[in-house]
Structure 1
Amino acid sequence: MNVLVINAGSSSLKYQLLDTKSGNVYAKGNCERIGIDGSFVGHEENGGEKQKLEVALPDHKTAIKHVFEILGQAGFDTDKIEGIGHRVVQGGWYFPESKVVTDETLGWVREVAPLAPLHNYAEADVIEICREMFPSIGNVIVADTSFHYGIPEKAHRYALPRDVVDKLHIRKYGAHGTSHRYVWRKTNEFLKGDVHKLVSCHLGSGASLSAIQDGKDMDTTMGLTPLDGLIMGTRCGTIDPATVCYLQREGGYSVDEVDTMMNKQGGMLALSGVSSDTRDIEEAANNGDENCQLAMEMFYYRTSQLIAEMAQSLHGFDTMVFTAGIGENSSSMRLGVAKELEWLGVKIDEEKNSVRSGEPRVISTDDSAVKVLVVPTNEELMIALDVEELLDK
């Protein structure tokens, strides 16, 4: 099935057209700076050279029109696109699994939007636009939170008054669920079923861990929002919640200012004072920048701490996987985290770890107590497979 996967943000829209049978990506691209001056579309076909088209993108509807025009010029008219999959950041309590778009399910995306206001409203708008413009094509919602929704109550419930928690649907929702689900599936396939307790490490600008037992998620590090858990590019990760009250009461910061500080001014950016990109931070650390060295040490320390926490939720683990931008590409980060876990018997083969590849691979030593792998994630394929399954029904 030819499926168009769309990932809409507040001012961006990424797309990928792929074949679910072969996994071939026919075309992909991104619409950037929607509603902002200097907007453009970046597009590439069949792995070829990326083209940058400077076009006015006043809103998401215009962006969608450009995407379909570009795909049409590449030979993919609407009659050749058999389904559209929409990545939705927050599925709330309505999406324990992916669902076909109807008036009701689209309404649910908007209803839970206060939990992810920068994403869900834009995603709902794009779904509505696709339905209006191309009524013959089926649409499917794939929520990032779905994979985590079934974690045990002891893992997802917060110790706040029950009436407040239940009324406002406050709980751990997590994120990156589509990636973690794909990583489990691919790892299980690669190891021919010889994996039972897996800690999946999705490490990128946004980062989270997932504890997976025989395909079922048991816990994850992100919470009500993606702010919780690991230190990330610009997110502070887990801190004492009273810090929020202290900043407002003693620092005089507003709610919005604290929100911005913790989501956009914190994390590796705040620690390093150089960049939110670990490539820049690693380079500066290697050149003697003490703040960047501390940032990397804290990243290794905090990540290993939470890996141990995920392992506890599984009562032990036999496999650990690195994935996403940092996890797939930074050998020094993988080594730094693994060294923190040596007390658990985790051992990395430094020669295997230094190899760059787009394929799954084992990087642990033969005598490591835990098998360690690098598995490139493919959220778009996972979304497309859900589209195929649901629309075929």
Structure 2
Amino acid sequence: MTTAVLVLNCGSSSLKFAVIDPENGSRMVTGLAERVGTPDVAATIKFVGTDGALGAASALKLGAENDHRGVLAAVLEVIESWAQEHSVDLVAVGHRIVHGGEAFAASVILDDTAMAAVRACIPLAPLHNPANIAGVEAAQHVLPDVPHVGVFDTAFHQTMPSYAYRYAVPTEWANEYGVRRYGFHGTSHRYVAARAAQELGRNADPGLRLITAHLGNGSSLAAVRGGRSLDTSMGLTPLEGLVMGTRSGDVDPGVLGYIHDRTGADVSAITDDLNKRSGLLGLSGISNDMRTLDEAADSGDQKAQLAIEVFAYRLAKYIASLTVPLEGLDAVVFTGGIGENSRTVRIATLGHLTHLGLRLDPHANQRCVGGVGGQITVATDEPGTPVALVVPTDEELVIARDAAALTR
């Protein structure tokens, strides 16, 4: 009998799922349901074949109920039938949960007490946590006898010292409303930091100083020393920090009052613009997709060129700033869709950081897409020069392993 973990990532209108062997990381089943809660809901599923590779996606027949519980019930009916046929024992369900606030510094079994704490975090993530909770409740309803584990995007950053996470705002904001830096993408930062340490042969080195760069439509950095997060670029919400696909990243807070005075727009509308109409999309007027911008920039589009330049410049500034909590730097780790695949971004970013000793190996960078090629920079002749790595992230595997460990 093979043991496996069902990993669920439940969004407001989507459901991503996978059955994973937590020991070797192999995917036995993967799938995606989209437009959940609407009449147009649809789902696809892939199963591993005899050659060990996932096959082509096939449409999944859904029932009359189009909410998360109904869709998940249809998904699990197929998965349970497949598991019985292939002697696979589903030992746990691992759930990605976006915000754990200050309540969770590690993954936990989702009992009644834990779920109450997750619900208390809804004001901190009103778009994400309700969907995550809906997924947990739906899965618990369908699989009541299997342990369910929550893995939190914010948990990894709970090791930040108070001077890193506190904002210079009225104390009652912090004490009564939880206004502080929490950080996100923690599961990804945790995974790639561990893989980078392994790649560098420094698994057990408590002094290893890494800056992990999760770059995609949402982007964030983390300063990681000896496997612990000391600081990060995202804050109370995922809007703070780097330029992203449609998010502005850092702006003067006075922008909200200024735009309100000029346009009459309320805070909600302005925040919506900062989240959905800014970033690479706002700068370029073309797209939030770096691949599209790369092509446009190569064709001479000046707005696309500017968007890439701003993205890389702000990224480099943040990388340099995070050497402060680390008191130095051993490696920069690129991951995520942009970090793993955009040679242009790596060239532009590292070009701003030569004063830190980072030197790009153009041949390694050229062949390094999606992690292929591993180390993409070479040290200079001076000892102790930092390097850059590309490490493909695997948040689902972290969730599967945490769930297996907690329920073993």
Query: TM-score, normalized by length of structure 1?
Result: 0.96
Pairing of 1:285-296 with structure 2 (within 5 A): 285-296=297-308
**Can you list the C-alpha shifts for 1:248-285, whole angstroms capped at 9, x where unaligned?**
23321122211210111111001110111111011101
Asked if 1:336 is matched to 2:345, the reply is no
When structure 1 is superposed on structure 2, of 246-255 and 92-101 the one drifting more is 246-255
Q: Which runs of 5+ in 2 are unaligned?
A: 49-53
How many Å separate the matches in 1 of 2:39 and 2:288?
A: 24
- Aligned-partner residue type, residue 74 of structure 1: W
Structure 1: stretches of 5+ with no match in the other structure: none
Please give the secondary structure, in 2, of the residue aligned with 1:253.
coil
For these two proteins, the number of residue pairs brought into alignment is 392
Equivalence for 1:252: 264
CA contact (8 A) 1:352 1:362 kept: yes
Amino acid at match of 1:370: P
SS at 2:127 equivalent: helix
| 1:43 to 2:63 alignment | no
Alpha-carbon separation, structure 2, partners of 1:22 and 1:185: 16
Aligned to 2:375: 362
| SS class of match (1:218) | strand
Query: Residues 128 and 296 of structure 1: is their aligned pair in 2 closer, same or farther, counting only changes over 3 Å?
Result: same
Partner of 1:21: 23
1:360–1:376: 8 Å Cα contact kept in structure 2?
A: no
| Match for residue 238 of structure 2 among 208, 226, 237 | 226
State whether residues 174 and 224 of structure 1, in contact with CA within 8 Å, keep that contact through their aligned partners in structure 2. Answer: yes
- Sequence identity (%): 39
Conserved? CA contact 1:29–1:42, under 8 Å: yes
How much has 1:68 moved relative to structure 2?
A: 0.8
CA contact (8 A) 1:90 1:112 kept: yes
Q: Would the aligned equivalents of 2:370 and 2:390 in 1 still touch at CA under 8 Å?
A: no
Is the alpha carbon distance of 1:358 and 1:160 closer, same or farther for their aligned partners in structure 2, counting shifts above 3 Å? closer
CA shift, 1:154, in A, is: 0.6
Mapped partners of 1:188, 1:366: distance in 2: 17
Q: 1:190 matched to which residue of 2?
A: 199
Tell me how far apart the structure 1 counterparts of residues 370 and 184 of structure 2 sit (CA, whole Å): 26
Report the alpha carbon displacement of residue 312 of structure 1 after superposing the two structures with TM: 1.6
- Structure 1: how far apart are the matches of 2:124 and 2:259? 22
Tell me: CA distance 1:76–1:156, structure 2 relative to 1, closer, same or farther (3 Å).
farther
Q: State the alpha-carbon separation in 2 of the partners of residues 218 and 284 from structure 1.
A: 37
Q: 1: distance between equivalents of 2:163 and 2:373?
A: 33
Q: Deviations over 1:126-183 (max 9, x none)?
A: 1112222211100001110000012011100011111221110111001000000001
Q: Distance in 2 between matches of 1:274 and 1:357?
A: 25
Is contact 2:220–2:241 with CA below 8 Å preserved after alignment? Answer: yes
Q: Is the 8 Å Cα contact of residues 92 and 145 (structure 1) preserved in structure 2?
A: yes
- TM-superposed deviation, 1:50: 2.1
Shift of 1:358: 4.7
Distance, in Å, in 1 between the alignment partners of 2:287 and 2:61 is 27
Find the residue that maps to 2:19 and give its secondary structure. Answer: strand
Pair 1:323 & 2:335 matched: yes
Give the equivalent residue in structure 1 for 2:224.
212
Q: Which moved more, 1:314-323 or 1:250-259?
A: 250-259
Say whether 1:280 aligns with 2:292. yes
CA-CA distance at 1:244 after TM superposition: 1.2
Q: Classify 1:130/1:222 alpha carbon distance in 2 versus 1 (closer, same or farther; 3 Å).
A: same
Residue matched to 2:402: 386
Instruction: State whether residues 348 and 364 of structure 1, in contact with CA within 8 Å, keep that contact through their aligned partners in structure 2.
Output: yes
How many angstroms does 1:54 deviate by?
Answer: 7.1
Where do residues 1-393 of structure 1 align in structure 2 (5 Å cutoff)? Answer: 1-46=3-48, 47-53=54-60, 55=62, 58-75=66-83, 80-193=89-202, 196-355=208-367, 356-358=369-371, 361-367=374-380, 369-392=385-408
- In 2, Cα distance between equivalents of 1:130 and 1:105: 16
Give, in angstroms, the shift of residue 311 of structure 1: 1.3
2:133 maps to a residue whose letter is A
1:134 alignment partner AA: L
Any idea what SS the aligned residue of 2:132 has? helix
- Counterpart of 1:60, as a letter, is H
Q: 1:150 & 1:245 partners in 2: Cα distance?
A: 34
Q: Which amino acid aligns with 2:33?
A: C
Given that 2:213 and 2:222 are in contact with CA atoms closer than 8 Å, whether structure 1 keeps it comes out as yes
Moved more, 114-123 or 171-180: 114-123
Asked if structure 1 preserves the Cα contact closer than 8 Å seen for 2:371 and 2:390, the reply is no
Distance in 2 separating the partners of 1:76 and 1:343: 58
2:51 equivalent in structure 1: none
CA distance in structure 2 between the aligned counterparts of 1:246 and 1:76, rounded to whole angstroms:
61
Moved more, 362-371 or 327-336: 362-371
Q: Can you list the C-alpha shifts for 1:218-239, whole angstroms capped at 9, x where unaligned?
A: 0000000000000000000000
Question: What CA distance in whole angstroms lies between the structure 1 residues aligned with 2:41 and 2:308?
Answer: 34
Q: Which amino acid letter does the alignment assign opposite residue 365 of structure 1?
A: V
SS in 2 for 1:336: helix
- Distance between the aligned counterparts of 1:162 and 1:67, measured in 2? 47
Asked if the contact 1:116–1:225 (Cα under 8 Å) also holds between the matched residues in 2, the reply is yes
CA separation in 1, counterparts of 2:299 and 2:247?
25
Q: Is the 8 A contact 1:33 1:57 kept in 2?
A: no
- After TM superposition, the structure 1 stretch with the greater mean CA deviation from structure 2, 91-100 or 61-70, is 61-70
